[in-house]
Structure 1
Amino acid sequence: MDTLRNFGSSMNSLVVFEVVAREKSITRAANELNVTQVAVSRMIVRLEKALGTQLFVRSRTGLVLTDDGLLLERGVNEGFGYIKRSVSDIKQRQQRTQTVTLSLSSAFIAYWLMPRYQRFQNAFPEISLRFHVISGVLQGNADEADLALRPTEQRRKSQQGWTFTPEVIIPVCSATYLESHGPIDHARDLPKHTLIELVPTTINWEDFLNRVDVVGTAPGDPLSFSDYALVLQTAMIGRGVALGWVSGVSYALRTGQLVPASRHVVTTGRQYELISNQRPSRPQVEQVKEWLIAEMEADLQEVARMYPVLAKPEPLHHSGTP
């Protein structure tokens, strides 16, 4: 360390030396460093003076490293290479700490989060989101995620959770489908409709209709999908009626992509939480969590204002899928 300190300002000449040794030319080194040839020559002379040895000799083809020059070139290359790797590792570590991983359903990502993602990026340009996608029922291990949307009962004692949304369910469809087929309010309405269903699920159409005393038979076979995003997409293009978990379809309801297809609404009494394994959470995770909660609260308030029926749902003590 004392030797390096004794270099003084000549430490800067190691950078110049690396370029000259690589290019074998004062002129090319000066062009790369955007300085004059005289400045490069002075730096090399200063370095040779500090070391007490000659580093280059001239030949017809350019500069040639002496034995001492070759020794220094090897050391400089190894040292600079280590510095570059260290800088790269630091940048990657910073990027990892600013990436927040979310475990969410495919439908929630596609129809709730992505429409407002630009607003998120504007608010938090330093945070990137990574997704662990669940296509059907929200369940499963969330250990690899910073935040996971799960029913309250799935949270372990070692995890912390924040209330995100109650479970409220309403039939939904496109506005054009509702206009041509009418609502599902009575058993006599069922033959007019195609029911779109998530399979497997914990609350299906039979569960819902029994709860609201609409007992009857819909014509033909229902449309069934294992991915809830496809369920909602099929409803949006006017192919039938789907059960809509309001937390997942709130944006679609606000924008008119979907509309309530019934005056019947049920709530399970169940809550969904944002769950985290971290105690305490990283600042970036806290920021994302607070933003998600605020956005959902605003959505539910607006949907309840637009559709008063959603403000007074009927109780249903049963488990379900957002």
Structure 2
Amino acid sequence: MAHPRINLGSLKVFEAAARALSLTRAAEELNVTQAAVSQQVRQLEAQLGVELFRRLPRGLALTDEGLGLLPVLQEAFDRIDDALDRVGDGLAREVVHVGVVGTFASGWLLPRLADFARRHPAVDVRISTHNNRVDPAGEGLDYAIRYGRGNWPGMESRFLMPAPLTPLCTPSLAAQLRGAAELSRFPLLRSYFVDDWRLWFEAAQVVPNGPVNGPIFDSSVTMVQCALQGLGIALAPPAMFEREIAEGRLLQPFEPMLDAGGYWLTRLALKPASAGATAFAAWLEGECGGPAGDSA
């Protein structure tokens, strides 16, 4: 069924309101009045012959019809934005969307992206960060860089580099340690996996002097920032915090390392790779030491 009188503006208003579940926030985003947003939404509902929102005492909720329409519009607007970006400067540009676990993004990738841009000026890499939980299909990603063992269902995974974990702390805190067994005197910070500290003590063949306690973070970057404040000892990959170590703000007080996983370049196995995405993968693997093969 065709709807010839529905304009792009009405659809954009609905998308903004549906994303925020608020007419007020949609109006602020679009720089129009709330009344204008409400009128556009009601006009769109009348044209479609369905309700897209349920009006609640506080805010909005999407109907089944609204839930079905929202992801289609979001994908369409993303494609329009990408197309405009490619032609806006007179160059044919290709956008590659990459989701990157935050530790790898800040500790390794971002300082090197200028080299990729110099080598591939027609490819625009857009980076979003995540805490190792990512939905490549839902987020429209060409690639996701993750930490783990490479066994994500439905994904093609290419190993990039190892990232063994070891204790990291401030020099003042390290000076209080006479041996690895004394680590348990302090808060032991960790991310993602609750058993990492226990496994590190086993790998180091050390029995801690007390219980292994400490907060769990959903980001190694945040965890290490806590360690930099002297609030505990982080179990983290030193390769991702080379600057802090070189500056003397962090120390690795003991040599043993725990192999808990590495960084992987992953993509949906059934999604074709564009020329720009293929170029990014080849550059990334080269920077990491060369391709090491795929793992299902």
TM-score, scaled to structure 1? 0.51
Q: 1:197 aligns with which of 178, 190, 193?
A: 190
Unaligned runs of 5+ in 1: 1-86, 299-322
> How many residues of Structure 1 are paired with residues of Structure 2 in the alignment?
203
1:168 aligns with 2:164: yes
The residue aligned with 2:135 is 141
Rate the CA distance shift 1:155–1:103 in 2: closer, same or farther, 3 A. Answer: farther
Q: 1:101 aligns with which of 97, 102, 109?
A: 97
Moved over 6 A (4+): none
Deviation of residue 153 (structure 1)?
A: 0.7
1:181 aligns with 2:176: yes
Deviation of residue 155 (structure 1)?
A: 4.6
SS of residue matched to 1:239: coil
Q: Aligned partners of 1:123, 1:257: CA distance in 2, in Å? A: 34
Deviation of residue 152 (structure 1)?
A: 1.3
Q: Aligned partners of 2:104, 2:136: CA distance in 1, in Å? A: 16
**Larger-gyration structure (1/2):** 1
Rate the CA distance shift 1:141–1:125 in 2: closer, same or farther, 3 A. Answer: same
Q: Aligned partners of 1:129, 1:207: CA distance in 2, in Å? A: 37
The structure whose residues are more often helix, as a share, is 1
Deviation of residue 253 (structure 1)?
A: 4.8
Rate the CA distance shift 1:285–1:152 in 2: closer, same or farther, 3 A. Answer: same
1:209 aligns with 2:205: no
Rate the CA distance shift 1:188–1:92 in 2: closer, same or farther, 3 A. Answer: closer
Deviation of residue 294 (structure 1)?
A: 3.1
The residue aligned with 2:56 is none
Rate the CA distance shift 1:286–1:220 in 2: closer, same or farther, 3 A. Answer: closer
Coordinate RMSD, CA, aligned: 3.6
1:287 aligns with 2:285: no
Unaligned runs of 5+ in 2: 1-79, 291-296
Q: Aligned partners of 1:281, 1:241: CA distance in 2, in Å? A: 41
SS of residue matched to 1:165: strand
Rate the CA distance shift 1:287–1:251 in 2: closer, same or farther, 3 A. Answer: farther
AA in 1 matched with 2:220: Y
Identity of paired residues, percent? 19
Deviation of residue 162 (structure 1)?
A: 2.0
AA in 1 matched with 2:267: S
Q: 2:219 aligns with which of 205, 227, 236?
A: 227
Deviates more, 1:98-107 or 1:288-297: 288-297
Q: Aligned partners of 1:254, 1:122: CA distance in 2, in Å? A: 27
Q: Aligned partners of 1:258, 1:294: CA distance in 2, in Å? A: 29
Q: Is the 8 A contact 1:112 1:250 kept in 2?
A: no
Q: Aligned partners of 1:283, 1:265: CA distance in 2, in Å? A: 38
